[in-house]
Amino acid sequence: MSDFSPPEHLPFQAALDDFFIYMRSEKQLSLHTQTNYARDLGKFQKYCLEKHLSALDKLTANHIRLAVAHLHRDGLGGKSLQRWLSSLRSFFQFCIKRQWMSSNVADGIAAPKSPKKLPKTLDVDQAIQFVEIEGDDFILQRDRALVELIYSSGLRLAEVVALNVSDIDWSDAMLRVVAGKGDKSRVLPIGSAAMSALKNWLPARKLFTSAAEPALFITQRGTRIGHRAVQIRLQQLSVQQGMDTPVHPHMLRHSFASHMLESSGDLRLVQELLGHANISTTQVYTHLDFQHLAKVYDKAHPRAGRKKDDE
């Protein structure tokens, strides 16, 4: 703590200087954390200077609300504003302990919620382009079966990696999946393209592993393939298959859900296939479906003429 003795109206910069000394010497926060505080509080100091707010005891909750709105208009997102408000609360709490402020004027002020990001998906043509992997060597046969199965049945990465050969009902083209959350199981259909790829994969798999290995998808060492290996292979396949954007396992799952909803319109069915406990989780795909329908409407209807913003 410094020897600084605050005047009646404490200048903002003097309080900041003392706060940074406190963080460095007493709290011994990491340099990274100190840098984040400095950046966040610097934004507020700049705002205060623009508004001619030079003394801490003159700050009110309304000043903080206006600052939040100002930073939000300048493009700062919800999560960044949450962290910014947290930095302000810590600083003001320090000032209260020093008796430079009587209350924490940032308490109870919430940042605007960030808009929920819709999951990225492939359209039907892109999905087919990605999963139609050509080649007969071990890696390519495995990868073709793996991506076809993820897209066919909407599997999570953890689910496809955990699959055993015995989880497949080869005669009825069905698949038993045990989800990681609560070990709940569900039975899913397997599409004909995925079944064909799986049956072609089995002979290659047998050449690289023993009968004692249960894993459906293995590496060339004969052991179960890992999460990271699948992610890396899909990144490489994205280039190989000429995709415009890198494809990750969850993008195939999202694409499966979106395409199923577009075709069936049955949200409960999609919920069941995905293994969502709550239908609200599945409802994000209704937004994707609406976007698709809106685009089709705009292109197809002779009297569409819709504008993005109502006048």
Q: Which CATH number belongs to the domain containing residue 31 in this structure? A: 1.10.150
Look at residue 90 and tell me if it is in a domain. yes
Instruction: With cut-offs at 50, 70 and 90, classify the pLDDT of residue 52.
Output: confident
The answer to whether the CB of 217 falls within 8 A of the CB of 225 is yes
Are 53 and 134 within one domain? no
Domain count along the chain: 2
* Block residue for tokens 């002979």: 203
Are 133 and 280 within one domain? yes
Are 258 and 129 within one domain? yes
Residue 116 a catalytic site member: no
Are 142 and 287 within one domain? yes
Are 139 and 277 within one domain? yes
Q: Is the pLDDT of residue 283 over 70?
A: no
CB atoms within 10 A of CB 226: 12
Q: Which residue range(s) make up the domain with 86?
A: 12-97
Say what the pLDDT of residue 119 is: 64
Instruction: With cut-offs at 50, 70 and 90, classify the pLDDT of residue 279.
Output: low
From 63, 89, 176, 250, the catalytic residue = 250
Higher pLDDT, 43 or 311: 43
From 70, 120, 276, 292, the catalytic residue = 276
Q: Which of 112-121, 203-212, 291-300 has the lowest mean pLDDT?
A: 291-300
Residue 9 a catalytic site member: no
Q: Which of 19-33, 111-125, 203-217, 218-232 has the lowest mean pLDDT?
A: 111-125
Helices (H), the chain: 12-22, 31-50, 61-73, 78-97, 124-131, 138-153, 157-162, 192-208, 227-240, 249-264, 267-274, 279-282, 284-300
* Block residue for tokens 């966040």: 40
- 129: domain CATH number is 1.10.443.10
pTM of the complete model: 0.57
Say what the pLDDT of residue 72 is: 83
Instruction: With cut-offs at 50, 70 and 90, classify the pLDDT of residue 217.
Output: very high
Pairing of strands 185-189, 174-178: antiparallel
* Cα–Cα distance measured from residue 94 to residue 91, given in angstroms and rounded to the nearest whole number: 5
Q: Is the pLDDT of residue 291 over 70?
A: no
Query: What is the DSSP code (8-state) at residue 260?
Result: H
Look at residue 92 and tell me if it is in a domain. yes
Q: Mean pLDDT in the chain?
A: 82
Are 92 and 138 within one domain? no
Are 93 and 147 within one domain? no
From 43, 205, 224, 253, the catalytic residue = 253
Are 238 and 128 within one domain? yes
- Which 3 state secondary structure label does DSSP give 224? strand
Instruction: With cut-offs at 50, 70 and 90, classify the pLDDT of residue 9.
Output: low
Most confident range, picked from 97-101, 150-154, 163-167: 163-167
Look at residue 102 and tell me if it is in a domain. no
Look at residue 116 and tell me if it is in a domain. no
Residue 156 a catalytic site member: yes
Residue 186 a catalytic site member: no
Of 97, 113, 133, the last residue of a domain is: 97
The answer to whether the CB of 106 falls within 8 A of the CB of 123 is no
Look at residue 111 and tell me if it is in a domain. no
Residue 70 a catalytic site member: no
The answer to whether the CB of 190 falls within 8 A of the CB of 175 is yes
Instruction: With cut-offs at 50, 70 and 90, classify the pLDDT of residue 293.
Output: very low
Instruction: With cut-offs at 50, 70 and 90, classify the pLDDT of residue 239.
Output: very high
Look at residue 250 and tell me if it is in a domain. yes
Q: Is the pLDDT of residue 198 over 80?
A: yes
Look at residue 107 and tell me if it is in a domain. no
Say what the pLDDT of residue 53 is: 82
From 156, 205, 224, 259, the catalytic residue = 156
| 80-116 confidence digits (pLDDT tens) | 888 999 999 999 999 999 888 889 999 988 887 766 6
From 52, 181, 221, 303, the catalytic residue = 181
Are 25 and 172 within one domain? no
Angle of helix 78-97 relative to helix 12-22, nearest 10 degrees? 90
Are 153 and 295 within one domain? yes
Are 27 and 139 within one domain? no
* Cα–Cα distance measured from residue 80 to residue 96, given in angstroms and rounded to the nearest whole number: 24
Say what the pLDDT of residue 184 is: 75
Of 47, 78, 97, the last residue of a domain is: 97
* Cα–Cα distance measured from residue 311 to residue 307, given in angstroms and rounded to the nearest whole number: 9
Look at residue 245 and tell me if it is in a domain. yes
Say what the pLDDT of residue 305 is: 54
Are 132 and 259 within one domain? yes
